[in-house]
């Protein structure tokens, strides 16, 4: 576990967008536990824990609003003026990855407009941590003769989906406002992040399928499936807070474990955790969708260089722990 937090760290005023999402909920609970004053924003009107304890000053707001005639357009500016946060975690985004989504225009507006608002209306010199994604890299590196190479933070980005493009654009917005001196921004390129409270994704899907009466475990693609890193939510939250609390020279960090695993290895780890074995039935490449990154291997050396030590360094251990403790 990283040593990023100390009991004598000063109490900060922290604003979190997308606070009711999966990562946002875990981040909010951790920061509350650490004693910070929290202001949270999401489209949902409630921000409480399971015991119905108020966690923050919460605002229901659509950051992607572009109509200047609506009061909601100016609400974020007013929130920043009223609370003057020391640190902003910008997690809010439309996470639809498929390029053939019915509303690509909406994805672009949701993700880029919200980031521009955060950067523009944040207090002067405010630290801003953007939740980006390793999906910005695309697949280009694996078409070369070195398929085992890892993406490092300043590798070329060639996203293959609208979502990936908006994340790369959001990084550029944060970098632009940082270069001008308006904010102190950093982008955290998250990978598939899993943990308690997860509602969708391959791990949740496999748990349901393994427990079902189907004698086979159906999986998208063909053997052995795509290759990607899986990060434990506890480690991801540690990384985000570390990036928020430290003044780093570098401004982009991969938040990934030490390795990547195939879909087959995800299935094997999930079945081992549940102590149920089934043969995997591959549904074929036509079951996949265009724009998905088939292989992602990213380096975490830069993040480790500032003190991040993951509790779950291996993707298989992440899957095993999440499935074993799933409710």
CB atoms within 10 A of CB 212: 12
Its pTM stands at 0.91
Q: What is the pLDDT of residue 8?
A: 40
Please state the CATH superfamily assignment of the domain spanning residues 13-196+230-259+297-312 in this structure.
NAD(P)-binding Rossmann-like Domain (3.40.50.720)
Nearest to 203 by CA among 266, 257, 260, 262: 266
Q: Are 30 and 24 in contact (CB under 8 A)?
A: no
| DSSP of 108-135 | HIIIIIHHHHHHHHSPTT-EEEEEEEGG
Name the phi and psi angles at 60, rounded to 5: -90, 115
CA distance 247 to 27: 19
Nearest to 298 by CA among 242, 198, 203, 230: 230
Q: Are 235 and 311 in contact (CB under 8 A)?
A: yes
Residue boundaries of the structural domains of the chain: 13-196+230-259+297-312
Say if residue 25's pLDDT is above 50.
yes
Beta strand segments in 140-229, E? 184-190, 192-194, 217-219, 227-228
What's the pLDDT tens digit per position in 44-73?
766 555 544 467 788 988 887 777 777 777
CB atoms within 10 A of CB 163: 25
Over range 144-160, report the average pLDDT: 81
Sign of the torsion formed by the C-alpha atoms of 78, 83, 85 and 91: negative
Half-sphere exposure of 136 (CA within 13 A, CB side): 25
Nearest to 56 by CA among 83, 22, 23: 83
> Considering only 30-34, 235-239, 241-245, 323-327, which range has the smallest mean pLDDT?
323-327
> What percent of the chain clears pLDDT 70, i.e. is strictly above it?
87
- The structure tokens 């993040």 sit at 303
- Cα–Cα distance list, 159 to 82, 97, 110 (Å): 37, 11, 18
Beta strand segments in the chain, E? 13-17, 37-42, 57-60, 87-90, 127-133, 184-190, 192-194, 217-219, 227-228, 230-232, 252-255, 261-262, 280-282
The radius of gyration computed from the CA coordinates of the chain, to the nearest angstrom, equals 20
Residue 194's pLDDT band (boundaries 50, 70, 90)?
Answer: very high
CA distance 38 to 17: 11
Over range 98-120, report the average pLDDT: 81
Q: Give the distance between the most distant pair of CA atoms in the chain.
A: 59
Over range 267-296, report the average pLDDT: 84
For residue 200, cis peptide bond before it (omega within 30 degrees of 0): no
Token pair of 123, please? 């207090």
CA distance 14 to 238: 15
């Amino acid at each position: 576990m990283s040593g990023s937090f100390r009991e004598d760290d000063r109490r900060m005023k922290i604003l979190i967008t997308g606070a009711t999402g999966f990562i946002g909920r875990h981040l909010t609970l951790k920061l509350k536990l650490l004693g910070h004053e929290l202001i949270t924003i999401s489209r949902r009107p409630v921000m409480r824990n399971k015991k119905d304890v108020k966690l923050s000053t919460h605002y229901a707001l659509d950051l992607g609003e572009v109509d200047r005639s609506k009061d909601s357009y100016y609400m974020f500016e007013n929130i920043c003026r009223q609370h003057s946060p020391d640190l902003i975690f910008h997690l809010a985004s439309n996470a639809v990855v498929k390029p053939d989504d019915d509303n690509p225009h909406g994805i672009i507006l949701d993700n880029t407009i919200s980031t521009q608002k955060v950067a523009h209306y944040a207090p002067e010199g405010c630290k801003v941590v953007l939740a980006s994604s390793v999906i910005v890299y695309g697949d280009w590196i694996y078409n070369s003769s070195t398929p085992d190479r890892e993406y490092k933070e300043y590798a070329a980005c060639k996203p293959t989906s609208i979502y990936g493009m908006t994340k790369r654009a959001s990084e550029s917005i944060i970098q632009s406002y940082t270069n001008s001196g308006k904010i102190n921004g950093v982008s955290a390129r998250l990978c598939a992040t899993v943990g308690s409270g997860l509602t969708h994704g391959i791990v949740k899907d496999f748990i349901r399928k393994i427990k079902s009466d189907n004698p086979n475990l159906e999986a998208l693609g063909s053997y052995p499936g795509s290759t990607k890193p899986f990060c434990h939510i506890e480690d991801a939250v540690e990384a985000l807070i570390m990036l928020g609390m430290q003044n780093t020279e570098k401004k982009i960090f991969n938040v990934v474990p030490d390795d990547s695993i195939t879909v087959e290895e995800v299935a094997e780890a999930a079945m081992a955790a549940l102590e149920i074995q089934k043969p995997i039935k591959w549904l074929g490449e036509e079951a996949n969708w265009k724009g998905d990154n088939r292989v992602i291997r990213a380096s975490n050396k830069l993040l480790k260089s500032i003190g991040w030590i993951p509790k779950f360094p291996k993707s298989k251990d992440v899957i095993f722990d999440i499935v074993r403790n799933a409710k």
